[in-house]
Amino acid sequence: MEDLKVVIGSDHGGFHYKESIIEYLKSRNIDFVDVGTYTRESCDYPEIAKLAAQKITSGECNRGILICGTGIGMSIAANKVRGIRAALCGDTYSARVSRAHNNANILCLGERVIGEHLALDITDIWLKTGFEGGRHKRRVDMIE
């Protein structure tokens, strides 16, 4: 596995899973930066997504995890930033392929649509999977 530095963020709808994923990261000694939110009070997900995306595009972090109620808002907002390939994943296969084939650099999860254990399994697989390159690199380059 590559040397990871993960940026993690959520809005109020993804706060619980963010805290669980932070515990997962700590248990595996994965370096991370938490860009909020830090309470369950209502907040605006586009601001969190932008902060996380900027940590990746600046090179401070090389992967990101964003969580909101469905994961949709976070993925839309993050993908507005040039150089970000945010993938909304609700299953382990999509998590693996989003890394192996699409070189996704942000994982988006929906706390209100998948179970917590599944979210942790998706996170684990996504973080452990590398980019295959080859024919996939040409396609990812086309996106950029």
The residues carrying an active-site annotation are 68, 101
52 within 8 A of 101, measured Cβ to Cβ? no
17 within 8 A of 116, measured Cβ to Cβ? yes
Taking the C-alpha atoms of residue 61 and residue 70, their distance in angstroms, rounded to an integer, is 24
Instruction: Name the phi and psi angles at 100, rounded to 5.
Output: -65, -40
Taking the C-alpha atoms of residue 58 and residue 67, their distance in angstroms, rounded to an integer, is 21
Taking the C-alpha atoms of residue 13 and residue 28, their distance in angstroms, rounded to an integer, is 25
Q: Which amino acid is at 87?
A: A
Q: What helix, strand, coil percent values describe the chain, rounded to 5? A: 45, 15, 35
How many Å is the maximal CA-CA distance in the chain? 44
